[in-house]
Amino acid sequence: MNFLQLIQNTFKRLGIRSMAGPVLIVMILAMMVLPLPPFLLDVLFTFNIAMAIMVLLVSMNTLKPLDFASFPSVLLLSTLLRLSLNVASTRVVLLEGHTGPDAAGKVIESFGHFLVGGNYAVGIVVFLILVVINFMVITKGAGRIAEVGARFTLDAMPGKQMAIDADLNAGLIGEDEARRRRAEVAQEADFYGSMDGASKFVRGDAVAGIIILAINLIGGFVVGVLQHNMEIGEAARTYTLLAIGDGLVAQIPALVISTAAGLVVSRVTSNDNIGQQLVKQLFTSPQVLILTAVIIGTMGLIPGMPHFAFLLLAGLMGWIAFYKLNAAKKLEEQPAMEVTVAPPSEAPEASWEDVSQVDVLGLEVGYRIISLVDKTQDGDLLRRIKGIRKKFTQEMGFLPPPVHIRDNLDLRPNAYRIAMKGAEIGVGEAYTNMFLAINPGSASGILPGMQTTDPAFGLPAVWIEGDMREHAQSMGYTVVDAGTVVATHMSHLIHTHAAELLGRQELQQLLDHVAKIAPKLIEDLVPKLLPLSTVQKVMQNLLDEGMHIRDMRTILETLVEHATRTQDAVVLTGLVRVALGPAIVQQFYPSAQELQVIGMDKELEYVLSQALQAGGGSAIEPGLATTLLNEARIASQKQEQLGLPTVLLVPAQIRDLLARFLKRSLPQLKVISHEEVPGFKTVRVTSLVGGRA
C-alpha cells in the first residue's frame, strides 16, 4: 500500500496526468511516420476496440450530455488513432503482405478470415454496408441532432440566464450556485457546437476507410505481382484478405464510437441512464404488452411462419404483462390505515387562547395550488420562501417575520393572496402544471396560451404547457414554474415593504444581535440617548428609500454622535445618510468614478427652498408641485434613454421632502444630496430638472 501511494505521489509531482494528452497525440502522429511491427499493431488495434467499447458504455450511463463533456475531444482522438493505425497497417501490408495473411498481425488476419469466412466478396460487401450505416445513418443523424441542439441552445441562452437571475433574486439560490448554472449553460452551448464539428471527423473517417481499402487492394495487387513475382490469384487472395481485415478492424470501432455519439446527443436529460429509461418507458404499461403479445401470437399461428419463435416471444410478453398486473393489484389491495373517530366532547369555554393575532406576513392559496405548499405532493414553495427570507436578511440587514401560509376557499381555485398585517398587498394566479413565459422585451414571436402579466413586475406574459418550455426559451422568453412565480412576487413585495416589516420586536432582536459584537455602543444609545421608537423611525426611513441597514455600526455611531443635539428622526436620518454616503452612491453606481446624475436648475432650487420655508418644510404649493413632477418625469425619461441611473442630485435641505414627494409618482427616481457624494467621486450632470443640461 505504501509502495502504491509512493508511485501515485511521484506521478502527481511529475504531472503525468497533465502530460497524458500531449504524449498520446505525439504517439498517434508518430504512428503515421514510423514503421510498427505486427505485434505492436495487434496491441494498438485491440486498444482501439477496447476504447470504443468503453466510450459506448460511458455514454449509456450518463444522465445528461454534460456528464461526458470531453466526448468531442475523445471523438477526435479516436478518429486520429484509427487513421494512424490505417496508415501504419497499410505500410506493413504493402511491404510485407507477400509473406502471408498474418503479415500485418493476427488481429487483421482474424477480422479478414473468421468474421467473413474467408469469402472476399462477402467481406467487401460487409465492409461497404458498415461504412454506409456509419456514414449515412448514424453519423449524419447525430450531426444533425447536434446542429439543431446547438442552435436551440444558443437561442435559449438569454431565457435561461434570466431564469437563473430570477431564482437568484427570489432567494432560491446563492451567488455560487448562480455562477455554476451560468457556466453550465455556456458549457452546454459549447458542447453541442463541438459535437456538430466533431461529427465531421467521423464522416471523413468513413470516406478515408473506403479510399484506404481501395489503396490496399489495388496497391497490394500491383506490389505483389510486379515486385514480388506472386501469382495473380495468390496476390488477389492475400491482399484482398489483408485489405478487408484492415478495413473491418477500423470500421467496427468507428461504428461503436458513432453510436455512442448518437446516444449522447439524442438522449433527453433525466435522473435515469439510457438503460433505465428504456426499461421504464417500454415495459411499464401491461396493456401495451398484452396487445403486442396478441399480435405476435396471431402472426405465429399463420401457416408458414416460424411458429416457435413467434409463440415463444408472445408468451414471454404475456408473462411480463401478467406479472405487472399482479403487482399493481397487490398494491391496490393493501389495507388502508384504520381511522379511529373520537367520541364527541363538550365544547370548551372561550378563553384568551381563542384570541388570534393578525399575521405580519401571510400567504393564502386557492385549493388548486395547495400542492405548491404541500411537502407530501413535492411542493417546494415552503423551501423557496425560506430562501427568500434568508436572502432578504443577507441583503437588508434584519430578519423579517415568518410567513404564515394557509388555504382560503374564498379565493379563486388558482389564485393566491399576499397580506401584510391583515391587509392585502398583492394577488395573482398560478397554474401548477404550467409554466409562465415572461417577455423581457426582447422575445420574438407570440406563444399560444393564456395571456397575462407577470404579477411581480407587470411584464407581458403567457401561461404555457410544459412541452412548450424549450421552444419558449429559444424565442427569448424567461420561463418559470408556478412556485417561482409566487416566490418572486413575494420577494418583490417584502423588499418593497421592508420598512413596514421592521417592527419593535424585529429591531430589538437586531440590537440584541449587535450588542454581542459592540455592547457598549448599544448601552450608550438605547435608552440613554434615544428611545427605541426614534431609532426604529430612522431605520424605517432608510429602508423606505431602498437602503439596507447592514452597516449597523456606522448607523448607531452616527446616532450616538448627534443624539445629544437633536431627537428629530428626519434630521437624524439625513445625518446617517451622509455617513452612509459611499454605500448609497455605490448602490446606484457600482464601479463608476464619475457620477452621471440628474441635476436641478438653480432658480428652481431657490424657489423650492423659499416655498419650504414659507410652508413650514412639510408641503409644496400645488402649482409648483405639478410643474416639478412634470419636469422630473421628463428628466427621468431622458436619463433612461441614455442608459444611465435615474438619480437626482439636490441640496441637503430639500432632499427629504423631494424624496417623499417623488416616491409615489416616480418610484424609480432616487434622490441624493450633495453631502452624500464622497469627495473622491466626480459629478457630471447629464439631465436637468427645470432647464437644459
Query: Over the stretch 362-399, which tens digit does the pLDDT of each residue have?
Result: 999 998 998 898 877 767 888 888 889 999 999 999 99
Q: 397: which residues sit within 8 A by CB, 6+ positions away?
A: 510, 548, 549, 550, 551, 552
- Supply the pLDDT for residue 323: 81
β-bridge pairing 403-407 and 361-365: parallel
- Supply the pLDDT for residue 357: 79
Enumerate the β-bridge partners of residue 596: 684
Boundary residue ending a domain (545, 579, 613): 579
- Supply the pLDDT for residue 453: 93
Q: Residue ranges of the alpha helices (H) in 301-367?
A: 307-332
Number of structural domains found in the chain: 5
**Same domain flag for 299 and 157:** no
**Same domain flag for 604 and 623:** yes
What DSSP character marks residue 37?
-
Residue at 198 is within a domain: yes
Across 200-209, average pLDDT? 72
Residue at 2 is within a domain: no
Band of residue 100 on the pLDDT scale cut at 50, 70, 90: low
Please state, for a pLDDT cut of 70, what percent of the chain lies above it.
Answer: 86
Handedness of CA 556, 557, 558, 562 (dihedral sign): positive
Residue at 336 is within a domain: no
Across 554-582, average pLDDT? 93
Coil, helix or strand for 450? strand
In 10 A of CB 121, how many CB atoms? 10
Boundary residue ending a domain (431, 466, 499): 499
Rounded distance between C-alpha atoms, residue 35 and residue 497, angstroms: 79
**Same domain flag for 469 and 511:** no
Across 310-330, average pLDDT? 81
- Supply the pLDDT for residue 331: 64
Q: 162: which residues sit within 8 A by CB, 6+ positions away?
A: 438, 440, 478
pLDDT in tens, 13-44: 555 556 666 777 777 777 777 777 888 888 88
**Same domain flag for 64 and 204:** yes
- Supply the pLDDT for residue 251: 79
**Same domain flag for 164 and 301:** no
Across 588-601, average pLDDT? 90
- Supply the pLDDT for residue 527: 86
Band of residue 12 on the pLDDT scale cut at 50, 70, 90: low
Across 199-216, average pLDDT? 75
**Same domain flag for 145 and 267:** yes
CB 134 within 8 A of CB 141: no
Angle at 632 between CA 627 and CA 634, to 5 degrees: 100
Across 247-254, average pLDDT? 80
Q: Which is more confidently placed, 383 or 158?
A: 383
Rounded distance between C-alpha atoms, residue 35 and residue 553, angstroms: 77
Residue 2 has pLDDT above 60, yes or no: no
Rounded distance between C-alpha atoms, residue 110 and residue 440, angstroms: 63
Q: Which is more confidently placed, 8 or 109?
A: 109
Residue 638 has pLDDT above 80, yes or no: yes
Rounded distance between C-alpha atoms, residue 111 and residue 245, angstroms: 5
Band of residue 347 on the pLDDT scale cut at 50, 70, 90: low
**Same domain flag for 247 and 133:** yes
**Same domain flag for 559 and 448:** no
From 239-248, 664-673, 679-688, the region with the lowest mean pLDDT: 239-248
- Supply the pLDDT for residue 32: 75
Band of residue 339 on the pLDDT scale cut at 50, 70, 90: very low
CA distances to 276, 422, 568, 666 from 617, rounded to whole Å, are: 74, 34, 14, 21
Q: Which DSSP helix (H) or strand (E) runs through 597?
A: strand 594-600
CB 403 within 8 A of CB 385: yes
Across 227-235, average pLDDT? 79
Crossing angle (nearest 10°) for helices 482-496 and 140-169: 30
Boundary residue ending a domain (544, 579, 614): 579
Across 436-459, average pLDDT? 90
Long-range contacts of range 409-415, CB-CB < 8 Å, 24 or more positions apart?
Answer: 409/366, 409/367, 411/364, 411/365, 411/366, 412/366, 413/366, 413/367, 413/368, 413/369, 414/366, 414/368, 414/369, 415/365, 415/366
Residue 655 has pLDDT above 80, yes or no: yes
CB 115 within 8 A of CB 248: yes
**Same domain flag for 373 and 268:** no
- Supply the pLDDT for residue 269: 59
Task: Tell me which residue of 491, 548, 556, 465 sits closest to 517, measured CA to CA.
Answer: 556
Rounded distance between C-alpha atoms, residue 158 and residue 182, angstroms: 10
Residue 596 has pLDDT above 50, yes or no: yes
pLDDT in tens, 490-520: 999 999 999 999 999 999 999 999 999 988 8
Residue at 654 is within a domain: yes
Residue at 208 is within a domain: yes
Coil, helix or strand for 596? strand
What DSSP character marks residue 64?
S
Coil, helix or strand for 417? strand
Residue 144 has pLDDT above 80, yes or no: no
Residue 336 has pLDDT above 70, yes or no: no
What's the chain's Rg over C-alpha atoms?
A: 38
Residue at 325 is within a domain: yes
CATH number of the domain where residue 398 is located: 3.40.30.60
**Same domain flag for 114 and 196:** yes
**Same domain flag for 270 and 292:** no
Please state, for a pLDDT cut of 90, what percent of the chain lies above it.
Answer: 30
CB 56 within 8 A of CB 255: no
CB 390 within 8 A of CB 446: no
Task: Tell me which residue of 597, 596, 594 sits closest to 681, measured CA to CA.
Answer: 594
Residue at 495 is within a domain: yes
CATH number of the domain where residue 570 is located: 1.10.8.540
Residue 209 has pLDDT above 80, yes or no: no
Rounded distance between C-alpha atoms, residue 581 and residue 554, angstroms: 11
Residue at 351 is within a domain: no
Please tell me which of 272-276, 286-290, 376-380, 549-553 the model is most confident about, judged by mean pLDDT. Answer: 549-553
**Same domain flag for 441 and 386:** yes
Q: What is the mean pLDDT of the chain?
A: 82
Across 40-68, average pLDDT? 82
Q: Which is more confidently placed, 606 or 132?
A: 606
- Supply the pLDDT for residue 1: 47
Coil, helix or strand for 484? helix
- What's the predicted TM-score (pTM) here? 0.58
Q: Can you give the residue range of the structural domain that contains 297?
A: 283-329
